[in-house]
């Protein structure tokens, strides 16, 4: 399955197009069920639609909205896969019982993780402050990936446990008993290790002990209890348990902050992804938001898919990923939006465009270049398809050539279609001349040759991209104001800004700007500034200005 994709759309539709058992791990952070009148994250069309979709009928409606989507999530998970579903007190009880137990089964419940997301909640007069989210962890079957996670040892534990120093090496260690070493108590291995004389050392030979602890010297305490040396420099830390208070929420100054309220910290996603996947595994986030999870998955060399219904979410995630791309170790990714950019469609190489259009029409493209008799593909039944990707309308002479090519392609099928009154060929174009349309009618009426005309717009919905003009004005010494004026048929959604543009890459310094105005101070010298305007369908356009900044005398 093709991965490393950001897909704009309702995750229900997108998940439906993903094959069974193809994903290793899902992290789902759906919009919460809350009683607020309106939860504004992005403030765009996709979000409003989704809000109305979920909240019209209260909690039952929300649960059934989620259920159909989680069913798809289970279907696409491999048998060894798992899901982490992030929610909060508004609906967690219902989600656990009605959605997860119901779909994944009670037996596949692994953990209820409590993440303390707020350090000091607001003072409440009549209830305890609410400071946590719940993350449910369910597997698809009894066999699933679980990589143990560790947190650094805390100071108290360091003090009470690691209080021995090995004389010869100076290494700090603790004398750990075998319960900690994962082998049960001393009695259980009695038949493998003989009781040593007091104060003598035995060598530990038992298998399946913690990594790095094999063949380690056993020390017997004065009471005769076996102990093993655990060195501090080897310690990975403590095992992570199901209450996560070590991962701080994002504060307003955090470097990774992109500026919307439900953004999750990368450390949280790193723990989840490292626990549930290995390098090269496939990770999917159906509510990708600002792209925290896919940014982490990308960094950890996992394959990934991110889906969101909001244009702003997808475009912000795209820019976030591009901002990080290191030219040497770039993991390429694709952004799929349902609306095609008309200008890009016109610029597509002829053969590539034909293939894309024939496939989108549901046909089988003719992959060989050169002499194809003007036939660019066939339907499943063998009927010829011809594509004319021309800005001007397709004329009568092109139809004549097509009519000559059809019987040459398959005479038997042509005669059969004619006889049965079936379509003999499909002609696809942006527009068709009047002459051609008249001739198509005549052919059908008089000669029983039925040609079907198809408009590209009905096959690949496209729109003109926005137009944008950027101007710069010096306000005072070293300080400039920039204004982006943009127009779009669907309306402008937002702008992003790159104040240090290098022509090859747009790396945003300001990701989400609704107004298209920015003020900034510069150092002396030449600077290139770029703005990207994104419209409500997700199409975008960049404009740039160059400024020469000089201190006034």
Ligand X SMILES: C[S@@+](CC[C@H](N)C(=O)[O-])C[C@H]1O[C@@H](n2cnc3c(N)ncnc32)[C@H](O)[C@@H]1O
- Cβ proximity to ligand X, 290 vs 465, nearer residue: 290
Closest CA to 521 of 475, 480, 470, 471: 480
Cβ proximity to ligand X: between 262 and 393 the closer is: 262
Out of 7, 11, 85, 358, which residue is the one contacting ligand X (CB under 6 A)?
11
Binding-site member from 3, 10, 448, 453 for ligand X (CB under 6 A)? 10
Q: Pick the binder of ligand X from 25, 31, 282, 409 (CB under 6 A).
A: 31
Show Cβ contacts of residue 78 under 8 Å, excluding neighbours closer than 6 positions: 21, 22, 23, 24, 140
Shortest distance (Å) from residue 322 CB to ligand X: 16
- Applying CB under 6 A, which of residues 29, 281, 341, 498 lies at the interface with ligand X? 29
The DSSP output letter for 170 is -
Task: Pick between residue 197 and residue 261 the one whose CB is nearest to ligand X.
Answer: 261
Question: Taking the CB of residue 356, how many other CB atoms lie within 10 A of it?
Answer: 18
Q: C-beta of 263: minimal distance to ligand X in Å? A: 4
Residue 99 DSSP one-character state: I
Check if the beta carbon of residue 75 is closer than 8 Å to that of residue 284.
Answer: no
Q: Which of the stretches 145-153, 261-269, 478-486, 519-527 binds ligand X when contact is defined by CB under 6 A?
A: 261-269
Considering only the stretches 45-53, 149-157, 325-333, 471-479, report the one whose residues sit in contact with ligand X under the rule CB under 6 A.
45-53
**Are 317 and 324 within 8 A, CB to CB?**
no
Nearer to ligand X, 258 or 413 (CB): 258
- The answer to whether residue 50 forms part of the interface with ligand X (CB under 6 A) is yes
Half-sphere exposure of 143 (CA within 13 A, CB side): 3
Nearest to 315 by CA among 1, 8, 5: 8
Give, in order, the Cα–Cα distances in Å from 250 to each of 166, 292, 306: 41, 12, 21
Binding to ligand X by residue 41, rule CB under 6 A?
Answer: yes
Helix (H, G, I), strand (E, B) or coil at 57: coil
Site membership for ligand X, residue 536 (CB under 6 A): no
Instruction: Return the residue nearest ligand X (CB atom).
Output: 289
Binding of ligand X by 247 (CB under 6 A): no
Closest separation in Å from C-beta 90 to ligand X:
12
Give CA–CA dist 66/32, Å, rounded.
10
Q: Check residue 97 and report its DSSP letter.
A: I
Binding marks (x or -) toward ligand X, 281..320, rule CB under 6 A?
-----xx-xx-x--------------xxxx--x-------
Q: Quick one: 306 or 425, whose CB is closer to ligand X? A: 306
How many residues of this chain interact with ligand X, rule: CB under 6 A?
22
What is the full DSSP assignment across 137-156?
EEESSS-------EEPPPHH
Which two tokens mark 235?
């310690």
Q: Which of 117, 132, 264, 271 is close enough to bind ligand X by CB under 6 A? A: 264
For ligand X, the closer of residues 50 and 139 by Cβ is 50
Confirm or reject binding of residue 495 to ligand X (CB under 6 A). no
Report, in Å, the least distance between residue 344 CB and ligand X.
25
Q: Report the distance separating Cα 71 and Cα 96, nearest Å.
A: 14
Pairwise CA distance, residues 236 & 74, whole Å: 33
Q: 3-state DSSP call for residue 164?
A: strand
Q: Which residues, in sequence order, are CB contacts of 542 under 8 Å at separation 6+?
A: 468, 506, 530, 531, 532, 533
Q: Based on CB atoms, which residue is closest to ligand X, 64 or 448?
A: 64
Single out the residue of 4, 15, 47, 492 in contact with ligand X (rule: CB under 6 A): 47
Q: Under the rule (CB under 6 A), what is the footprint of ligand X?
A: 10-11, 29, 31, 41-42, 46-47, 50, 262-264, 286-287, 289-290, 292, 307-310, 313
């Amino acid at each position: 399955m093709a991965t490393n994709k950001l897909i704009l759309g309702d995750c229900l539709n997108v998940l439906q197009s993903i094959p069974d058992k193809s994903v290793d791990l899902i992290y789902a952070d759906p919009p919460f069920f809350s009683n607020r009148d309106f939860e504004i994250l992005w403030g765009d069309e996709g979000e409003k639609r989704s809000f109305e979709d979920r909240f019209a009928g209260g909690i039952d409606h929300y649960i059934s909205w989620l259920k159909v989507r989680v069913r798809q999530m289970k279907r696409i998970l491999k048998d060894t896969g798992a899901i982490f579903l992030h929610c909060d007190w508004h609906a967690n009880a219902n989600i656990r019982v009605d959605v997860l137990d119901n779909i994944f089964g009670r037996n596949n419940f692994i953990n209820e993780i409590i993440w303390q997301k707020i350090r000091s909640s607001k003072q409440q007069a009549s209830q305890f402050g609410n400071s946590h989210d719940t993350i449910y962890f369910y597997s698809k079957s009894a066999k699933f990936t679980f990589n143990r996670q560790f947190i650094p040892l805390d100071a108290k534990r360091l003090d009470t446990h690691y209080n021995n120093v090995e004389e010869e090496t100076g290494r700090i260690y603790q004398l750990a008993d075998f319960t900690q070493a994962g082998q049960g108590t001393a009695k259980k291995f009695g038949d493998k290790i003989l009781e040593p004389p007091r104060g003598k050392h035995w060598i530990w030979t038992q298998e399946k002990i913690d990594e790095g602890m094999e063949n380690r010297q056993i020390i017997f305490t004065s009471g005769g209890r076996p102990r093993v040396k655990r060195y501090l420099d080897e310690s990975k830390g403590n095992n992570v348990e199901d209450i996560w208070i070590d991962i701080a929420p994002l504060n307003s100054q955090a470097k990774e902050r992109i500026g919307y309220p439900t953004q999750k910290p990368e450390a949280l996603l790193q723990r989840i992804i490292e626990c549930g996947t290995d390098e090269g595994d496939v990770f999917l986030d159906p509510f990708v938001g600002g792209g925290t999870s896919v940014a982490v998955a990308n960094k950890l060399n996992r394959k990934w898919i991110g889906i969101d219904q909001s244009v702003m979410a997808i475009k912000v995630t795209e820019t976030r990923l591009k901002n990080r791309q290191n030219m040497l170790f770039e993991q390429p990714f694709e952004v799929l939006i349902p609306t095609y950019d008309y200008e890009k469609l016109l610029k597509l190489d002829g053969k590539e465009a034909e293939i894309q259009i024939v496939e989108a029409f549901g046909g089988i493209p003719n992959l060989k270049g050169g002499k194809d008799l003007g036939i660019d593909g066939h339907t499943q039944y063998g009927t010829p398809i011809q594509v004319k990707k021309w800005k001007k309308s397709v004329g009568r002479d092109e139809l004549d050539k097509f009519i000559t090519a059809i019987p040459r392609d398959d005479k038997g099928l042509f005669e059969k279609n004619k006889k049965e009154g079936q379509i003999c060929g499909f002609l696809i174009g942006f527009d068709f001349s009047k002459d051609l349309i008249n001739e198509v009618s005549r052919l059908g009426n008089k000669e029983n040759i039925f040609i079907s005309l198809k408009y590209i717009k009905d096959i690949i919905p496209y729109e003109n991209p926005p137009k944008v003009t950027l101007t710069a004005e010096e306000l005072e010494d070293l300080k400039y104001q920039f204004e982006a004026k943009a127009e779009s048929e669907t309306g402008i959604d937002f702008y992003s800004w790159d104040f240090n543009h290098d022509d090859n890459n747009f790396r945003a310094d300001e990701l989400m700007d609704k107004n298209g105005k920015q003020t900034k101070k510069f150092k002396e010298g030449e600077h290139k500034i770029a703005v990207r305007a994104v419209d409500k369908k997700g199409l975008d356009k960049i404009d740039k200005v160059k400024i020469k900044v000089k201190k006034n005398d």
